[in-house]
Amino acid sequence: MQKTGLTDNDIQKIKEAANTYKRYSDIDLCIMDENIDYNTFLKFADFIENETNFPYTFDICVYKNIKNEALKKHIDDRGILL
């Protein structure tokens, strides 16, 4: 387990939930914390991209900042809370 708390099994579940798993796929992470500030977000994004040994790239967003309602619905319907 990495410092992020995500296990290989967690990552596998994330990709399988959207039926998009492929070797070396990226991982979409959406931060649900309403109180996250920009500095914390940047530190987390930097850590997960540069300080972990995951063989994946990450797309990271903050839920409260998403303007696309279809994307929010997709996250609400298909997202896996870790």
Higher local confidence (pLDDT), 41 or 21: 41
Q: Is residue 50 part of a domain?
A: yes
Q: How many domains does the chain have?
A: 1
Q: What is the pLDDT of residue 1?
A: 45
Q: Is residue 46 part of a domain?
A: yes
Please, are residues 78 and 15 in contact by the beta-carbon 8 Å criterion? no
Q: What is the pLDDT of residue 56?
A: 76
- Is a pLDDT exceeding 80 seen at residue 20? no
Alpha-carbon distance 53 to 55, whole Å?
6
SS3 49: helix
Q: Range of 25's domain?
A: 8-78
Q: Convert the pLDDT of each residue in 29-73 to its tens digit.
A: 899 999 999 999 999 888 888 887 777 788 899 999 999 999 999
Q: Is residue 1 part of a domain?
A: no
Q: Is residue 22 part of a domain?
A: yes
